[in-house]
Structure 1
Amino acid sequence: MLSFVDSDQADNCPLLGSLNNFSITHPSEVTNNREVPITIHNPGKPDGYKIIMGIKHSSRPHYGVQFHPESIATRYGRHIFQNFKRITTEYGSPSSSFLERKAHSADQCNYVPKGLLHTERLELRDSVEARMLPERSSEKKYLRLRWKRIDNFLSRTGGSEDIFSLLFGHENADDTFWLDSSSVDQNRARFSFMGGKGGPLWKQMTFHLSNQSSEGNITIRRADGSAVKNTLKDGFLEFLHKEIQSIQNNEEDFQGLPFEFHGGFVGYLGYGLKVECDASSNKAKSSTPDACFFFADNLVVIDHNNGDVYILSLYDEYSSNNGNGIYGNATHTSWLLETEKRLLRMVAMAPTLPINRNSLVGSRDVNKHSFVVEKSKDQYIKDVQSCLDFIRDGESYELCLTTRMRRRIENINALQLYLKLRKQNPAPYAAWFNFSSVNLSICCSSPERFLRLDRNAILEAKPIKGTIARGRTPEEDECLRLQLKYSEKDQAENLMIVDLLRNDLGKVCEPGSVHVPRLMDVESYKSVHTMVSTIRGTKKPDVSPIDCVKAAFPGGSMTGAPKVRSMEILDMLESSPRGIYSGSIGFFSYNSRFDLNIVIRTIVLHDGEASVGAGGAIVALSDPEAEYAEMMLKAMTPTRVVE
């Protein structure tokens, strides 16, 4: 039989005993039939019910709780697990007082899943490790890095915008990137990385999923214009894994550099790549590529803390030593020297920039089109209600519902659009990309980090859950900040994603290393306050960068929890593919470090159309009208930039 713990006798329950001030309500009437779910009636409220939070077997060491003892916010979670460990140890001891212990010994546990016994675990581990051994590319590369530093240079120019404009802003900034820490307040970000079509190692990789599986087609375009198309049966992330594994490096080359991107892969992973992680399928095919990356062999880095500017260039020593001159030392040295000269000439130049700043939109009818929300307000509210129904039915705890807004554009200056966006909504994980071969530009002003792996093997995620508009006066602004800080609904949103990411990082981190140094902090940006948490852990030595991404992608703040079931529900409710929105933008350095954002507050320009994605997390406390208002608030800044 199952029994329920009386609050006056909590210490008599081995699982919950010795927990100070742990409140347990004694049920006054219980129905506990073998075929009927356990219910409890509260006579104090004639029509009300209390939820049972804990049960135990009357004689066996079987316990159940209706909450998450492993949650970061569970006050006595560690004590409960310690108690359970003690119970398990005592149960296995010869002096155990539990009844029928021998009848339920490990030797007779038929319900133990195959693979959990010690010898089978070893076999399973060996097979998994064999499967995870990287398949080395036949084209091995030994990349060397040369770099130069110009001390305190930023203060002598008009800033990072001027540097990008001079070096890469010509000819519509085709095939350029800019990982732009346009907001460096409170040390949220320190470095910006920029580059264009570079040297002989430069290439662009464009990937389209071919169906609902991870199989797809990749086009690799070189700097000389040549292109090769191939089918990737194992998906893009496996391809990227092999590319990174095929590169050898010399650690002495990047000693002394204070940042993590030293050249390598820079681009985006679309939301559809969830099928290469845990998701079973995609509802629809995205019109934009599911992944697009450059291999950047030449780049410029800006240190916003001290104003230093770095010029970096990679070359392949194997090819250079084999007599292939285009890969040699002279080629990249020439680029380093020429770029340094161009930068130094900036100091003496007039402050005018080479970019045409006269017009954002060259269309004959600037206001001919406006953004159209994919779903009406009524339909979005119905979708929120559907999410609430799924949550009440126990299908999910939290669902991150999104939609998209679109408008036609003509002759727009995409780089000018990004410069306007970064001015109106500066963000620590902002980015500009142009992929000219697929007529695609990305203007991103994201405040959210998805995942970073640094030189010390530390993984860090910084999910955002909880957003409110800034106030019009300092007093109103502070009231709104505190309103967000103490909002039960927003705390619930944030907590569930923190616990989800703790689980994701736990798959690839050293046991016991995952921790939360900052829980539910409120950060303030130009137009909104946001609730942000920080989760960190130490990567296991045998885990690759791509393994880390696969463990956590897509970012939990854009899916909900539990992740897999939540993604399935969202696929049913959302009427179009998310595409680039809610994926990740960032870099994978050639020496296996990476930093990726969450693609939010972003304008995607593709084939004559501008699109903006927005949404919010639905939890049991959500109000449908308020959720619609929050979605519109998040979309307001990027859509107004285009309008």
Structure 2
Amino acid sequence: MRHNCFSDVKFTSGGHLLIEDAEGSIERAYLEEGFFDFLDKELLSFHHEKKDYEGLPFDFYGGYIGYIGYNLKVECGASSNHHKSRTPDACFFFADNVVVIDHLYDDVYILSLNEENTPMSTWLDDTEQKLIGLRASSTRQLEEQNLHAPTVSRNKSAFISEVSRGDYVNNVENCLKYIKDGESYELCLTTQLRKRIGEIDSLGLYLHLREKNPAPYAAWLSFSKEDLCICCSSPERFLRLDKNDLLEAKPIKGTIARGSTPEEDEQLKLQLQYSEKDQAENLMIVDLLRNDLGRVCEPGSVHVPNLMDVESYATVHTMVSTICGKKHSNVSAVNCVRAAFPGGSMTGAPKLRSMEILESIESCSRGIYSGSIGYFSYNRTFDLNIVIRTVVIHEGEASIGAGGAIVALSNPEDEYEEMILKSSAPAKAVMYFD
């Protein structure tokens, strides 16, 4: 099975595909049909039996792990991109050997897609012995090794936004004009903050970010050949398909800072919960995602089990809804993603027109930000996040995307402050390590 030789798959604008195998050999190709069609064919070429993974308490059994950049919206019905991404539009590596850690029950699973009694199959035994050795090490020693603080902060330069405060406020006002004219109901306006950095311990940065801003859909990805590393602490799920063909989206719309005292914190939480503006933002995106999932789900199966719940994280409270549905049997996993990408919480509604408006207002490509990180398993399940609260390190520069949803009730100055709030946790993590 040739998939077992894959190491990295990179897709760039214009349809260029680069595949690197485990030995470093590179294959280049041009994809007329696009990345999603390529990935769909790759996943459909896998042959698997349910008995191979029965009893495992998770859905990933090997396959592709990586990211889909925001610019791939053009393969999902959006108009052309005005700005070229500085990073590849998609990067994935093929994981044929996998270690899964269940933190809740303190269990470790070792999986391999390689045939038994082959040179590659020795990986299972070797890894088991290494993990036993790690288990014998003290937790404290591992924490000291991985979470050590940098001895000297070398670079005190601050992040610089692609747009000034005044320009961002003007962009919000432009969004409000489009909304007043009936062009859109909601526009998710964003920008990028950038900072030149020296050599940085990206894994240490990620662990620090995860410690200070823990989130359920966090990820660390390193593509050394691209000089690219992603440190993500996202609290938001874009879309998941489980082994029972159930789809789930959990969009976030509505964010407020945590309070400095328990009393203030509870007041702010209630303020978010009953905010007319935030409820409007959230409900519009719920309707959008109900429509997206309705295109690929069995009739009558799409429902909203949780509407506008408030979830609390280290630095913010957020308003989250859950939309579910039963995938139609004749729709592939990749086409489920294509029907809903990019996540509606990062675009606005109506989706296609909102993306077109935002493309004309925003001054640079979103790149990886606003896209998705996650996996596509060989058993045709997937789980993808929304790339927010994330540091992208590429060619000596750290970048952070941030923004917010603009609706008719939005205040331009408040929207700027919300953008800064959302960028603060990843920015502080970089300043701590750089």
TM-score (norm 1): 0.65
Q: Does 1:470 align with 2:258?
A: yes
Q: Distance in 1 between matches of 2:7 and 2:117?
A: 19
Q: Label 1:357 to 1:527 Cα distance change in 2 as closer, same or farther (>3 A).
A: closer
Q: Distance in 2 between matches of 1:253 and 1:425?
A: 37
* Alignment match of 1:397 (pick from 185, 188, 198): 185
* Alignment match of 1:251 (pick from 46, 50, 75): 50
2:33 aligned residue: 234
Query: Quick one: percent identity of the two aligned structures?
Result: 63
Q: Distance in 2 between matches of 1:456 and 1:343?
A: 31
**Highest relative contact order (Cα 8 Å, sep 6+), 1 or 2?**
2
The within-5 A match list for 1:252-331 is: 252-315=51-114, 329-331=117-119
2:416 aligned residue: 628
Q: Distance in 2 between matches of 1:587 and 1:427?
A: 17
- RMSD between aligned alpha carbons? 1.5
Q: Distance in 2 between matches of 1:577 and 1:376?
A: 17
Q: Distance in 1 between matches of 2:342 and 2:173?
A: 24
User: Which residue identity lines up with residue 54 of structure 2 in the other structure?
Assistant: Q
Provide Cα deviations, 1:462-504, integer angstroms capped at 9, x if missing partner.
Answer: 0000000001111110000000000000000000000000000
Deviates more, 1:278-287 or 1:480-489: 278-287
1:558 aligned residue: 346
Q: Distance in 2 between matches of 1:359 and 1:634?
A: 24
Alpha-carbon contact 1:204-1:292 (below 8 Å) kept: yes
Q: Label 1:623 to 1:361 Cα distance change in 2 as closer, same or farther (>3 A).
A: farther
Q: Does 1:366 align with 2:152?
A: no
| Count of paired positions | 429
Q: Distance in 2 between matches of 1:550 and 1:374?
A: 29
The within-5 A match list for 1:500-515 is: 500-515=288-303
Q: Distance in 2 between matches of 1:579 and 1:560?
A: 18
Q: Equivalent residue of 1:489, what SS?
A: helix
2:327 aligned residue: 539
Instruction: For residue 366 of structure 1, report the CA deviation from its aligned partner.
Output: 2.3
Q: Label 1:516 to 1:358 Cα distance change in 2 as closer, same or farther (>3 A).
A: closer
Q: Does 1:220 align with 2:19?
A: yes
Q: Equivalent residue of 2:314, what SS?
A: coil
Q: Label 1:610 to 1:142 Cα distance change in 2 as closer, same or farther (>3 A).
A: closer
Instruction: For residue 361 of structure 1, report the CA deviation from its aligned partner.
Output: 8.3
Alpha-carbon contact 1:508-1:551 (below 8 Å) kept: yes
The within-5 A match list for 1:416-427 is: 416-427=204-215
1:593 aligned residue: 381
2:275 aligned residue: 487
Q: Equivalent residue of 1:620, what SS?
A: coil
Deviates more, 1:353-362 or 1:421-430: 353-362
Q: Does 1:201 align with 2:5?
A: yes
Alpha-carbon contact 2:220-2:231 (below 8 Å) kept: yes
Instruction: For residue 329 of structure 1, report the CA deviation from its aligned partner.
Output: 3.2
Q: Distance in 2 between matches of 1:420 and 1:280?
A: 38
Instruction: For residue 280 of structure 1, report the CA deviation from its aligned partner.
Output: 1.6
User: Which residue identity lines up with residue 246 of structure 1 in the other structure?
Assistant: S
Provide Cα deviations, 1:129-168, integer angstroms capped at 9, x if missing partner.
Answer: xxxxxxxxxxxx499xxxxxxxxxxxxxxxxxxxxxxxxx
Q: Distance in 2 between matches of 1:459 and 1:624?
A: 35
Instruction: For residue 303 of structure 1, report the CA deviation from its aligned partner.
Output: 1.3
The within-5 A match list for 1:71-150 is: 141=1
Instruction: For residue 455 of structure 1, report the CA deviation from its aligned partner.
Output: 0.9
Instruction: For residue 270 of structure 1, report the CA deviation from its aligned partner.
Output: 0.1
User: Which residue identity lines up with residue 275 of structure 1 in the other structure?
Assistant: V
2:197 aligned residue: 409
Q: Which protein shows a greater Rg?
A: 1
Alpha-carbon contact 1:288-1:580 (below 8 Å) kept: yes
Q: Label 1:357 to 1:458 Cα distance change in 2 as closer, same or farther (>3 A).
A: closer
Q: Distance in 2 between matches of 1:475 and 1:397?
A: 34
2:425 aligned residue: 637
Alpha-carbon contact 1:362-1:411 (below 8 Å) kept: no
Provide Cα deviations, 1:15-48, integer angstroms capped at 9, x if missing partner.
Answer: xxxxxxxxxxxxxxxxxxxxxxxxxxxxxxxxxx
Alpha-carbon contact 2:147-2:207 (below 8 Å) kept: no
Q: Equivalent residue of 1:259, what SS?
A: coil
2:130 aligned residue: 342
User: Which residue identity lines up with residue 509 of structure 1 in the other structure?
Assistant: C
Any stretches of 5+ residues in structure 1 without a counterpart? 1-140, 144-199, 211-215, 318-327
Q: Does 1:525 align with 2:313?
A: yes
Q: Equivalent residue of 1:509, what SS?
A: coil
1:460 aligned residue: 248
Instruction: For residue 359 of structure 1, report the CA deviation from its aligned partner.
Output: 5.2
Instruction: For residue 307 of structure 1, report the CA deviation from its aligned partner.
Output: 1.1
Q: Label 1:459 to 1:357 Cα distance change in 2 as closer, same or farther (>3 A).
A: closer
1:7 aligned residue: none
Alpha-carbon contact 1:361-1:411 (below 8 Å) kept: no
User: Which residue identity lines up with residue 250 of structure 2 in the other structure?
Assistant: K
TM-score (norm 2): 0.96
Instruction: For residue 585 of structure 1, report the CA deviation from its aligned partner.
Output: 0.3
* Alignment match of 2:403 (pick from 590, 601, 615): 615
Alpha-carbon contact 1:449-1:462 (below 8 Å) kept: yes
Alpha-carbon contact 2:147-2:208 (below 8 Å) kept: no
Q: Distance in 1 between matches of 2:414 and 2:103?
A: 38
Q: Equivalent residue of 1:247, what SS?
A: coil
User: Which residue identity lines up with residue 121 of structure 2 in the other structure?
Assistant: T
Instruction: For residue 332 of structure 1, report the CA deviation from its aligned partner.
Output: 3.9
Q: Does 1:570 align with 2:349?
A: no
Alpha-carbon contact 1:431-1:445 (below 8 Å) kept: yes
